[in-house]
Structure 1
Amino acid sequence: MALQKYLKTLKTLKRSHRPNLCPNPHQALTEIISQTLNSSAPKPLTTTDTASFLSCLSPTTLLHILTDPELKSSKCSRFFNFLIRNRSLISFEPDLQAYLTLICRLLRERRFSDAEKTIKWVSVGENPRYPFSVLAPTVWNCCSDPKVLTKFFNSMLKIYSDCNMFDVVSEVFEYMKNNGIEMDERTCTVHLLALRRSDHMQLALDFFYRMVESGIEVSVFSLTIVVECLYRGGEVKRGRELVEEMIGRGIKPNIITFNIMADACAKARNFGELDMVLLLMDKEGLAFNDRTYKILIDGFTSFGKVDEAKKLVFDMHDKGLKVYAYLCNLIIHGYCRLGSMDGAVFMFDEMTKRSILPNADTYWSLISGLCKAEEMGMAMAYVNDMHTKGIELDSIMFNTLIDSFCNQGMVNEAFELQVLMEKKGFIADLCTCDKLLSGLCEMNHIAKAKRLLNMMDRRGATPKILRSTA
């Protein structure tokens, strides 16, 4: 039935049954709200349509409507939101009791999202209405259900945390603890995450200890969040000590916790502390997973501890974990950086034996290292091996090889590579071409020098030898 018809019915009721309407006016209003919002295509509420409808409202009438069991909570919420958006249509300001009555009803009926929106509006909106010190005692007058009250205060804690009102979160936490209100560990964890995002290391640590001391069954997830906060703040030793302390309290770290600790130690190059972490990990009976191995291999190779990293790769392979080529590449690159080409070649050979397929980066690391070590014969042997595997030289590898041949006076070999490079569609660097051209001229290879000179001219490049005489 259309809204106008209900408004007409309401006016008729006012004229013919005015004495009966005043004692219990909310019944007619509830019927109109219910029927209007139930319509498959309800007519939008407007100022004109609702003038007489809203004139019956008072704070008492509004409370009757919000608590009417025959009116669904979703309709109560929509109606209340309409009143808030159109305050000029009613003769009073909805008070805190109205807000809290609706919130408690929404929580009771498990409409948590709607309840949190209303809590946020009444507590931390653009124009905050009521501080927590007012909200907390008042809600007890609107609800006596312990489960609803528990959910209310946990929602308050979450909302203040989401809004970075960390000092008020502490106030809510203390209030809940002092009044015997059960705290949801997941809600507290959400707060720890907010503190981590804001880089509040000390606040996170303090709040975690309050969680532990309040008797909350703290999860390893919460512990891991705080450990990560400490490690982010450079408190490597303190993070490990916290884990040891919590183990004594029955809160056991997991592999994720230890991986965070190991990663922080490796990046900080604090290998003494890393040893302590790994000893603690072994004491707790936790085996390395693939993430642990990757962290340690990367950390060791970056600091020149290549032999230790190599042992970890072999251990990883022997335990049946997947070893990717990039882990072996780190070790080969590490040996090349140290000038230990025997170690690099040995690692490459071990890859083959263990069926770990080398990729372009593997060959690039080894060939580049061999070029720096002036082992051009071996370098070209691995270039040929690349070709048999279907891996082609790229522009960087071509330039490196040509440059290395030039440095050793092997200009014919360098020129042949430059010709091949050109056929492959690559263009040599100008400085590489300059070095090759100078070498060809010095060796009196005039025909080859002219060919290279013509190629450079087509590119619009002026050789160094001509630039210096210009």
Structure 2
Amino acid sequence: MLIMGCSKRLYMEKSGFKIHQSCCIVLLLALKRCDKMDMCFSFFQRMVGVNVKFTVHSVAIVIDGLCKRGEVERAKDLMEEMVTKGIEPDVVTYNTLINGYSNNGIVDEALKVKTIVERKGFEPNVVTYNTIACGLCKLKLYVEVKTWLFAMIEKGFTPNVVTFSTSINIYSKIGNLAKAKRLFEEIEKRRVSPNNVTYKALIDGYFMKGNLEEA
């Protein structure tokens, strides 16, 4: 069905019909959800070539799909190409790229993107800070993670479930279960709903300490 959809779009293009942006967005989303990113990227480039006017949200669909496949440099190249065409990324799009770098352990590049965000006059948000903190955590840079999360709070951002889960994970990994448990209790006081990641972080800590009863 997706291939037929792409074929119809290309037929319309060759026949001189005007291709509406909304139709392209639906197809891009469908291709991304089916993990057909090569086809998604190719279709997007083809539509750009016939002057279909995309918004930043349309570009973000392709960038997000590429990042989730680990093709972060390709996503970055696409973002830079779109800037030359007058489509300026927003904070959500930049966060998508930051997330791509962080998930792939390339935190230095994620920090560079954050610097670009600030230079362009955007304010990094709680998602930006949480994403980079998670990337540092994956690299086992626990001291840096704590510093980063403290900086986030000093900026006035309210910790959410991702912030707490990351913090609990850190203290569990370094064996400070008392602190991890206090943070878990803090979640309940703030009426933040813990998720599977939160519970897993605390349970893993108890298992590492051999405290099966608490786990």
Q: What's the TM-score, normalizing by structure 2?
A: 0.74
Q: CA deviation at 1:314?
A: 2.3
Superposed, which structure 2 residues align to 1:363-378 within 5 Å?
Answer: none
> Structure 1: which 5+ runs fail to align?
1-162, 373-393, 398-470
CA contact (8 A) 1:293 1:316 kept: yes
Deviations 1:304-348, CA, capped at 9 Å, x for gaps: 222332233223222322124762563354255346x6xx96x99
2:54 partner letter = V
CA contact (8 A) 1:301 1:331 kept: no
Deviations 1:261-315, CA, capped at 9 Å, x for gaps: 2222222212243234333333433222222222222222232222332233223
Number of equivalent positions: 199
1:358 partner letter = E
1:203 partner letter = M
Structure 1 residues 333 and 217 mapped into 2: Cα distance closer, same or farther (>3 Å)?
A: closer
1:195 partner letter = L
2:214 partner letter = I
Superposed, which structure 2 residues align to 1:24-35 within 5 Å?
Answer: none
Q: 2:77 aligns with which of 237, 241, 247?
A: 241
2:23 pairs with 1:195: no
Q: 2:140 aligns with which of 297, 300, 304?
A: 304
SS in 1 for 2:140: coil
Structure 1 residues 247 and 290 mapped into 2: Cα distance closer, same or farther (>3 Å)?
A: same
SS in 1 for 2:186: coil
User: What's the counterpart of residue 258 of structure 1?
Assistant: 94
User: What's the counterpart of residue 181 of structure 1?
Assistant: 17
User: What's the counterpart of residue 209 of structure 1?
Assistant: 45
CA contact (8 A) 1:325 1:358 kept: no
Bigger-Rg structure (1/2): 1
Quick one: higher RCO (CA 8 Å, sep 6+), 1 or 2?
2
- In 2, the alpha carbon distance for the partners of 1:329 and 1:190 equals 34
User: What's the counterpart of residue 195 of structure 2?
Assistant: none
Structure 1 residues 295 and 212 mapped into 2: Cα distance closer, same or farther (>3 Å)?
A: same
2:163 pairs with 1:327: yes
Identity %: 27
Q: CA deviation at 1:357?
A: 6.9
- In 1, the alpha carbon distance for the partners of 2:5 and 2:139 equals 43
- In 1, the alpha carbon distance for the partners of 2:162 and 2:81 equals 37
CA RMSD of aligned residues (A): 3.4
- In 2, the alpha carbon distance for the partners of 1:262 and 1:338 equals 26
User: What's the counterpart of residue 286 of structure 1?
Assistant: 122
Structure 1 residues 234 and 330 mapped into 2: Cα distance closer, same or farther (>3 Å)?
A: closer
User: What's the counterpart of residue 172 of structure 1?
Assistant: 8
> Structure 2: which 5+ runs fail to align?
189-197
CA contact (8 A) 2:111 2:132 kept: no
2:137 partner letter = T
